[in-house]
Amino acid sequence: MAYAETLEGIQYTYGGTSPSTGFDCSGFTQYVYAHFGISIPRTSESQSLIGTSMSVSSAKVGDLLFWGSKGSSYHVGIYIGGTSYIAAPTSGEKLVLRTINTINQHLLFT
């Protein structure tokens, strides 16, 4: 997911869908997937309904990671390997690499 990592540092913007305006979490994942010719829905809730759910330990680089529950996801990021993912976190922050940890792992699915 080297391409996704090139976008690190772009400002979080609620509803944002491009590098020029900033990204929210689902706008970022939609933008990165579109770069590779893959069309996915706009919101994290809708994105969580596509594909096949699996355990986080089975995730492959490029898989979407969701927080919440299927159909009610409130956050999404892109798995980049090991214990790392990249996401547009929240207002006032920038797109950043993060580590999956015990605090957030219980809310996580892919």
The predicted-structure confidence for 39-76, as pLDDT tens digits, reads as follows: 999 999 999 999 888 888 888 999 999 988 888 999 99
Report the alpha-carbon distance of residue 60 to residue 43 in Å, rounded: 21
Q: 102 lies in which domain range?
A: 2-109
Q: Output the domain CATH number for residue 58.
A: 3.90.1720.10
- Counting the structural domains of the chain, the total is 1
Residue 55 in tokens: 């355990």
Report in angstroms the alpha-carbon separations of 8 from 12, 87, 98, 101.
11, 9, 11, 20
Output 10 or 89, whichever has higher pLDDT. 10
Mean pLDDT of all residues in 2-9: 95
| Element (DSSP H or E) covering residue 66 | strand 64-67
Report the alpha-carbon distance of residue 93 to residue 25 in Å, rounded: 11
Percent of the chain at pLDDT exceeding 70: 92
